[in-house]
Chain A
Amino acid sequence: MRVLIVDDEAPARALVREYLGAHEGIEVVGECANGFEAVKAVSEQKPDLMFLDVQMPKLTGFEVLELLDPAPAVVFCTAYDEFALKAFEVHAVDYLLKPFGRDRLAEALARV
């Protein structure tokens, strides 16, 4: 599975990358620090799955999704729980609340 990691915070990206490293068959095709980079990376790399932060400068995670057609499967990663309902509406695979552990991420992967 080809995965894209999108988060404006470098440590958050590093965390997801580290967790994913324990799963076979997962290839991280790119890391993006903002929505613009994400849109570009999706069109170039065509990942199957995206770990997407919500609160990012200029473009939020949801705005990024609106710009993507077709969009890959999405797992939201955020410290804020108020977007959970909206995540349902855009048919996200899962919604991870920061801070999350390896097991929680594995659960999310299992749903894809």
Chain B
Amino acid sequence: MHPLLTRRVWLGPYVLAWLLAGLLLAEFLRLLGPLPPTHAHAFAVPAMLVCGFVVLSAWWACRRHPLVSTPPLRVLSSQVGVALQASAVWSVGSMLWELVLVRLGDSVVTRADLLRNFGVLFLLGIPLYLLSAVVHYLVLAFEAAHEAERRVLESQVSTREAEVRALRAQLNPHFLFNSLNSINSLVGSDPEGARRMCEGLGDFLRRTLALAARDSVALSEELALVERYLAIEQVRFGERLGVERRVDESALGCRVPPLLLQPLVENAIKHGVSGRLEGGVVRIEARREGARLGIVVENPVDEDAPARAGAGVGLENVRRRLEAFGAEEARLDAVREPGVFRVLLTLPAREKETGGSRG
């Protein structure tokens, strides 16, 4: 269905335009030869109106010969062909109408006039049709561009969704190997401890999956996950792993993106504990200051330890997720001071699950 006929809004102005064109044609014909004014108008106006609808056939012709996939010569030849046909049909039809008018009316119209009018119409019809074809091609191109843009945006959204899902599901497989090995080592010397650790690992994994599936979680839930994680790592590192916690009561209810802290703590242990001969103390702090939530994860570093590339990528992931969660109010800052590496998270203190910004 031609868009003009479906979107009725444009139909009115369109018809009006062609009626005016009809008036113009009438005057033009009278310029060429003596024609009674009433006859001229009665002939030309309806003729142009019909022309207005005949040229709409270009829409189908343009779709059959799209500019993109058809060789230009072919486009030209087919459109000219259609133009000739359309114009012929129109001018012949118009002449029949003129004959009817002559019969009905008592105006004197000579044969020469009739032939001349036919010629004018036929010649006029061709460029009118071609103009219509050009306009239709333009409209089709615009629609195609619009469609392409929409598709690009859609694919961007789905890529972003996939990224978010992948980021959420980040679980270090080596953590599993190391944990299983710890359990393995406890089996002989401390079977009860081994059982507890199996339970702890299962619990940790289940919680991780549950949290990953959600858009936001309470800080208390995130901290609970981190505690499970630390309990497992404590077996591996023994006295080499120390943990200091400092969490405001008022911060516990705040919403955070899931799996926000666990990767940071994992990093902290990697660089501050397992990488150091004597191990180290990991500090976790959560402070609520009015509408702001501040979280700190800190670990010691050796002076000569180089900044590792792996840490950068992991932090970038956390930063992106944080910013996606809290927009401009969320930030991740990584600070390296002598002997200490600190990650500071700032985000709006929200307590409701639905993204309201009231704390």
Contact = CB atoms under 8 A, between A and B. Distances in A.
Q: Is the interface of A mostly helix, strand, loop or mixed?
A: loop
Contacts of B185: 11-12, 14-15, 18
Contacts of A36: 277
Contacts of B142: none
B174 interface: yes
Interface centre among A15, A18, A36 (most CB of B within 10 A): A15
A9 B274 CA distance: 9
Contacts of B182: 9, 11-12
A11 B187 CA distance: 10
A57 B181 contact: no
Contacts of B181: 11-12, 15, 79, 98-99
B196 to A, nearest CB: 13
B120 interface: no
Interface string B178-195: 101111111011000000
A10 interface: yes
Contact of B174 (A9, A18, A80): A80
A101 B188 CA distance: 11
Given A11-B185, A57-B277, A79-B174, A98 B238 contact: no
A57 B183 contact: no
Interface in A50-72: 55, 57-58
B277 A79 contact: no
B233 to A, nearest CB: 10
B117 to A, nearest CB: 89
A76 to B, nearest CB: 14
Contacts, number: 57
A100 B240 CA distance: 24
Contacts of A33: 277
Chain A CB within 10 Å, residue with most, of B185, B236, B238, B275? B185
A33 B238 CA distance: 12
Contacts of A18: 185, 188-189
A9 B189 contact: no
B237 interface: yes
A96 to B, nearest CB: 10
Interface string A72-106: 00000001100000000000000001111100000
Interface of B: 174, 177-178, 180-186, 188-189, 235-238, 240, 274-277
28 contacts: A8-B274, A10-B238, A11-B186, A11-B235, A11-B238, A12-B182, A12-B185, A14-B185, A14-B188, A15-B181, A15-B184, A15-B185, A18-B189, A34-B277, A36-B277, A57-B274, A58-B275, A58-B276, A79-B174, A79-B178, A80-B174, A97-B177, A98-B177, A98-B180, A99-B177, A99-B181, A100-B184, A101-B184
Given A57-B274, A98-B184, 6 more contacts: A18-B189, A33-B277, A36-B277, A58-B275, A98-B177, A99-B183
Interface of A: 8-12, 14-15, 18, 33-34, 36, 55, 57-58, 79-80, 97-101
